[in-house]
Structure formats: C-alpha cells, structure tokens
Amino acid sequence: MNYTPNDLDNIKFKKNFMGYNEDQVNEVLDSIIQDYELYIKENIELKDRISVLNEGIQHYKNIEESLQNTLIVAQQTGEEIKKNAYEKAENIVKEAELKAQKIINDANQEVIKIRFEYEEMKKRLHLFKTKSETLLLSQLELLKQLFNTDNDID
C-alpha cells in the first residue's frame, strides 16, 4: 500500500495493554519501507533517464553549434564569392571599356590618316589637273602660233 503524507498523518494505531499493536505498527513500517525502496528505485531510474536525456540534449546542442558555425562559414564564403564575382565583373567591364577605347582611338587615328591621304590625293589631283591644263594650254598656244605662223607664210 502506498501511503500519502496525509495517510501517514492520520494513521491511528490500536493500543493494547502494552502500548501500540506491534504487528500493526510493523505492517505499516514494512509498507512504508517498500514504498520508500520503490521511490528510491524510481528516483535512481529517473535520474539515470535524466542523465541520458541531458547527454542527448548536449549532443544535439553540439550538433546545433556545429551547424551554426558551418552556416556562418557558408555565409561568409558566399559573401566572399559574391564580392569576388562583383570585383571580377567590374574588372571585366573596365578591361572591355579600355579595349573599346583603344579600338575607338585606333579607328580615329585611321580616319585621320585616311583623311590626310584623301587631302593629299586631292591636292595631287588638283596639281595634276593644273599641270595638265597648263600643258594643254601651252600646247594649244604652241599650235596656234604654229598655225598662225603658217598662215603668215602663205
């Protein structure tokens, strides 16, 4: 029989001529001893169970801490990768801009060179035309003189 504290407080032992009934007292004490042994056994089992559960909790806390550290490292690595990608992209854009500017500068130099050659060709053509006209005019003048002189002979 499991006694509650209230049951123990309300136990009334029968008295006989020599005091309390010894068998009744021994019976209550035996029951209390059994209850006490059961409580001790349950207490030890519960303490063992709590210890096992605490070890499990500690194990999972360690896993959680490890996962948190892993997550932090992964976030930092992700940020570094992202930062490096942005830097690489900026470098590619700058390099492309420099190449484009060089191409534009080279093209402008080529345009200037072609314009200069064009102007030179125009000058040579004008000079050729002028010399040709002068030559033709002088030849024409020579012919005129030649024919005018022939007319004078007649």
- Domain range annotation of the chain: 5-120
The tokens for 27 are: 């019976």
Task: Of 15-19, 46-50, 91-95, 148-152, give the lowest mean pLDDT range.
Answer: 148-152
CB 42 within 8 A of CB 66: no
Residue type at 21 in one-letter notation = N
pTM comes to 0.46
Residues shown for the chain: 154
Query: Model confidence over 13-53: pLDDT tens digits?
Result: 777 767 777 788 788 888 888 888 888 899 999 999 999 99
CA–CA distance, 9 with 7 (Å, rounded to integer): 5
